[in-house]
Amino acid sequence: MSSVQFVNSKAEVLRKYQALAMNINAAAGLMEVMKSNLGPKGTLKMLVGGAGQIKLTKDGAVLLSEMQIQHPTAAMIARSATAQDDIIGDGTTSNVLLIGALMKQAERLLAEGIHPRVITEGFELARKEALSFLDTFKYQQIDKAVLINVARTSLNSKLTPDVANQIIEIVVDAVQIVQVPEKPIDLFMVEIMHMQHKMGAETELIRGLVLDHGARHPDMPKFVKKCYILNLNVSLEYEKTEVHSGFFYNTADDREKLARSERKLTDDKCQQIIDFKRKVCEKNGYGFAVINQKGIDPVCLEMFAKEGIVGIRRAKKRNMERIAKACGGNSVNAVEDLTESDLGYCEVLREYTLGEEKYTFIEGVQNPTSCTILIRGPNEHTIAQIKDAIRDGLRAVKNAVEDKCVIPGAGAFEIATSVHLQKFKDSVAGKAKLGVQAFAESLLVIPKALAENCGYDVQETLIQVTDEFIKNNIPVGVSVNEQGFIAPIANGIFDNYCSKRSWLNIAPTLAQQLLLVDEIMRAGKQAGGAPQ
């Protein structure tokens, strides 16, 4: 019966060592591609799209999501690494490196005749021990200085230092603005806008909002000081009926009467807003702006312009939430019974024109819980690079606030854990200790990559750093400014606790699963059994 072929004759089947070799080569190959991006001295990759679009980046998440990866194992590793980025915002490159290093260490043990199951048991013991060691390694004094250092560590690994240093405080201030006590931090309340204008280092934080459109009438004011804002969700235009209907008239006068009544309905709403504006503004001379989620027709715009009201129509729904949080007041769904408490307030409302684009700046708001980061850059790929870095920086600061602790960076955790696991393996019985030792050596891929990307001698740097840690038993990492070691806590180099925890869960688990694959079949059917 052994000669009977149970699989489709056209199927591709890889068995035992062929399957393992395929998985190991895929993991090691992806690791070699990503290794040069790690750390502040990492190199850039240029991604060129089908239509010639260019993107320069060293952000692991961007690379893995934009690259076309054909190999199924490599694609699986890329998906697991980007899953961590989606949840936490960091650790993508580290995931790929650790999976690749674990698979390479496993290859050496497999060549010596060790069964994959024994290796994975050792990996699992080492993973659990590393997670428990992580809880003893964290630094728990969280203040603004530490948050700034967390942002600096995140941004310096993705941007040039002159641009990153400009953005660090912007990112920390933005998170602190949207932070509401005893509620989770909602980063959607930080609007990220961009203008293709000036230099990347001129990116700024607006303690208010920037809308990507301006007033819709040429006679409306372009600059208003001390301005009330009516946050409206009411249609101020002639609308068709929601159901298809037809009207029959006896005379032309009847048609005119109906048209006038329809126009009067919209005009009355507009007049109610104007009367309300006169009532609240006559005593203090404040300006008045209407920001409407729905439309404002030309007749109403003309009425607003004559009254000196700024009218902005078709604002995004998300911006309407942000306006209420930034400026105060309520989002109003009817113009009847308006009160002064429904109004938001800002010190300055101004319109800025750049080429054909108009932007409205709402600044000087009181007690904002929403803000805008305005990215400036000379070209599209610079703006895209800064935008990706800011998103990661915001999430790094948010994670530090929510974890209430951080982990010393610069490879300090990996070196300390590796030394700890080398001691731990002596307490492990049987061949599983070989898996623990392989795991300990694999963790050193991070400090090795940091040293290599700085142009240092890898082995010499690693020995110096490890010896210093064993001698003084304090966290030490790889210095990127001169060959040797650095104290990450004293120099403000910190990683996120949740990022390291997720990294220690995702990478070893996937490596174990790949090592236990002993047959790969490409049988011409889609997953789930449906025919192609």
Written as one string, the DSSP assignment of 509-528 is: HHHHHHHT--EEEE-SB-TT
**pLDDT value at residue 14:** 54
The residue with tokens 């009467």 is 257
Q: Where does the chain hold its CATH 1.10.560.10 domain(s)? A: 3-140+407-522
How far apart (Å, rounded) are the C-alpha atoms in residues 361 and 222? 10
Which regions of the chain carry the CATH code 3.50.7.10?
A: 208-367
Per-residue pLDDT tens listing for the chain (532 residues): 344 445 544 445 556 677 778 888 888 888 888 888 887 887 888 878 777 777 777 777 777 777 777 878 888 888 888 888 777 777 788 888 888 888 888 888 888 878 888 888 888 888 888 888 888 888 777 788 888 888 888 888 777 777 888 888 888 888 888 888 878 888 887 878 887 777 766 788 888 778 777 777 777 778 888 888 888 887 777 766 666 766 676 777 777 777 777 777 777 888 888 888 888 777 777 888 888 888 887 888 888 888 888 888 887 777 777 787 777 778 888 778 778 788 888 888 888 777 677 778 888 877 777 788 888 888 777 888 888 888 888 888 888 888 888 888 888 888 888 888 888 878 877 888 888 888 888 888 888 888 888 888 888 888 888 888 888 888 888 887 777 778 888 888 888 888 888 888 888 888 888 878 777 666 555 555 544 4
Q: Do the Cβ atoms of 174 and 371 come closer than 8 Å? A: yes
| Burial grade of 355 (CB within 10 A; 0-12, 13-18, 19 or more) | exposed
Query: What does the alpha-carbon distance between residue 325 and residue 180 come to, in Å, rounded to a whole number?
Result: 11
Instruction: Supply the CATH classification number for the domain 3-140+407-522.
Output: 1.10.560.10
- What pTM value is reported for the model? 0.76
Q: What is the largest CA-CA distance in the chain?
A: 101
Q: Which CATH number among 1.10.3470.10, 3.50.7.10, 3.40.50.970, 1.20.140.10 corresponds to the domain 208-367?
A: 3.50.7.10
φ/ψ of residue 448, rounded to 5: -65, -45
Catalytic amino acids?
59, 92-93, 392
Q: Are 62 and 95 in contact (CB under 8 A)?
A: no
d(CA 417, CA 441): 10
Q: In this structure, what DSSP letter does residue 43 have?
A: P
| Interatomic CA distance for residues 393 and 90, integer angstroms | 9
With both helix axes pointing from N to C terminus, report the angle between 380-403 and 161-178 in degrees, rounded to the nearest 10: 50
Q: How much is the CA Rg of the chain, to the nearest whole Å?
A: 30
Which two structure tokens, joined as six digits, stand for 384?
């895209």
Structure confidence at residue 243 (pLDDT): 67
Q: Residue 525: what pLDDT? A: 56
β-strands 190-196, 371-377 pairing: parallel
The two three-digit tokens of residue 14, written as one number: 């890889």
